[in-house]
Every structure is written in structure tokens, then in C-alpha cells.
């Protein structure tokens, strides 16, 4: 549900701009909110989706990077012994991350993108969500997959981090157009 005390309203004096500079057109990012598009991607699909969201929002891109990168072997999924599968079978695992978001507190809106792994978000997403203070921020999940929807993973994140302000996320497929993404962003009312 939308936050009624939205502090990014375009009518506050310090963010008010002249009508001409505040004019928003469909593809020109014009935003009073500071937006971060954080994503984890091993084979490029989620990175590609993140780039489309950054284009639509004018947000900053950030790659969530595990301290120990996932090899092709780590990602084999029809094998219970591989790293990714073992991690997904244990909800308490938190793989370490490399690097940090610069000046995280400046952001009002955080997109969090991931590949679906066993119908869930990879555990590095939990590590990321537990590494920063998300209070007062809007958080929007997005994912790519081989066919699974975002529903179960997003519900799991919402219930695990129930104190965060989650907005409706979506799956971004290879064929999801820039226009569809722009329409989704508009529907979120985050600018």
C-alpha cells in the first residue's frame, strides 16, 4: 500500500521546480526521488533487466557482488551438491558480499533484482538486504527466470523483511519492452 506521508511529494518547497524544468515525458527520467537499481546476476539476464530499469528511472546501477563469485559448476542445478542449490536449501546461509553501495542513505527508492533460484531469491539478496538500513525507503523487487513467476520469491522477501516498505515487483523477461517497463515504473508512483 502506498505511503500516505510520502516525503518526496513534488509540491514541497525545496523540491519544487518551474513547470518547464519539471515537465515529465515518458522516456525522460525526471525525478525528485533518488533511485538505486541494485541487482545480482551471474549470467547477464538480470543485469540486462536492471539496465532497462535504470534507463526508465534515471537511477544508479549497482551490482551486488558475492565475495566468492559463482562458477558455472556452482550454478548447476540438477545436482543437490552444487553451491547454489545447497545455499537455497538452507534459508540461514548468508554468502559474504564484496564492496558496498556508496552513500546508501541518499536513496529514497531501491530496486532489488535477482535471478530466481529454486523459486526463491538467491541468499546473497538476503545478505544485501541485511547489510543496509532500509527504513524510510521504498523497496521494489524484480527478477528474471527460466519460467517461474516472481510471486513466491517476492512474498518470501516481504515476510522475511516485513518492516520494509515493499512495492509490487515484477518479472522482466527477455521480451519485456522498454515501454512496458516505463509503464510499470509509472504505476509505482515513485518519482
Ligand X SMILES: Cc1cc2nc3c(=O)[nH]c(=O)nc-3n(C[C@H](O)[C@H](O)[C@H](O)COP(=O)(O)O)c2cc1C
Q: Which is nearer to ligand X, 13 or 147 (CB)?
A: 147
C-alpha of 33 from chain center: 15
Q: Which is nearer to ligand X, 112 or 137 (CB)?
A: 112
The β-bridge partners of 66 are: 97
Q: Which of these segments, 28-36, 56-64, 116-124, 154-162, binds ligand X (CB under 6 A)?
A: 116-124
Contact between 112 and ligand X by CB under 6 A: the answer reads no
Residue in the block written with cell 518547464: 20
Q: Hey, which residues between 49 and 108 contact ligand X (CB under 6 A)? A: 75, 77, 84-85
Contact between 46 and ligand X by CB under 6 A: the answer reads yes
Q: Which is nearer to ligand X, 78 or 135 (CB)?
A: 78
Least Cβ distance, residue 91 to ligand X (angstroms):
15
- Measure CA of the first residue to CA of the last residue in the chain; give whole Å: 16
Contact between 119 and ligand X by CB under 6 A: the answer reads yes
- What is the sign, positive or negative, of the torsion defined by CA atoms of 11, 15, 18, 20? negative
Q: Angle between the 45-57 and 178-188 helix axes, to the nearest 10 degrees?
A: 60
Tell me if residue 117 falls in helix, strand or coil.
strand
Q: Hey, which residues between 122 and 151 contact ligand X (CB under 6 A)? A: 144-148
Q: How far apart are CA 57 and CA 34, in angstroms?
A: 9
Closest CA to 117 of 40, 183, 176: 40
Q: Which is nearer to ligand X, 7 or 43 (CB)?
A: 43
Contact between 42 and ligand X by CB under 6 A: the answer reads yes
Which residues in this chain contact ligand X in the complex, by CB under 6 A?
A: 41-47, 75, 77, 84-85, 115-119, 144-148
Amino acid at each position: 500500500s502506498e505511503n500516505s506521508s510520502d516525503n518526496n511529494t513534488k509540491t514541497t518547497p525545496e523540491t519544487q521546480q518551474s513547470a518547464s524544468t519539471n515537465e515529465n515525458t515518458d522516456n525522460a527520467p525526471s525525478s525528485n526521488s533518488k533511485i538505486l537499481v541494485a541487482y545480482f546476476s551471474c549470467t547477464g539476464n538480470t543485469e540486462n533487466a536492471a539496465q532497462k530499469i535504470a534507463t526508465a528511472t534515471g537511477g544508479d546501477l549497482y551490482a551486488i557482488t558475492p565475495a566468492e563469485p559463482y562458477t558455472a559448476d556452482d550454478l548447476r542445478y540438477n545436482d543437490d551438491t552444487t553451491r547454489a542449490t545447497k545455499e537455497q536449501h538452507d534459508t540461514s546461509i548468508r554468502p559474504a558480499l564484496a564492496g558496498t553501495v556508496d552513500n546508501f542513505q541518499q536513496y529514497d527508492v531501491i530496486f532489488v533484482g535477482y535471478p530466481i533460484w529454486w523459486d526463491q531469491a538467491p541468499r546473497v539478496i538476503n545478505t544485501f538486504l541485511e547489510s543496509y538500513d532500509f527504513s524510510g525507503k521504498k523497496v521494489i523487487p524484480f527478477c528474471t527466470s527460466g519460467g517461474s513467476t516472481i510471486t513466491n520469491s517476492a512474498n518470501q522477501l516481504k515476510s522475511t523483511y516485513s518492516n520494509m516498505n515493499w512495492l509490487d515487483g515484477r518479472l522482466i523477461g527477455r521480451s519485456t519492452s522498454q515501454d512496458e517497463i516505463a509503464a510499470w515504473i509509472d504505476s509505482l508512483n515513485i518519482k
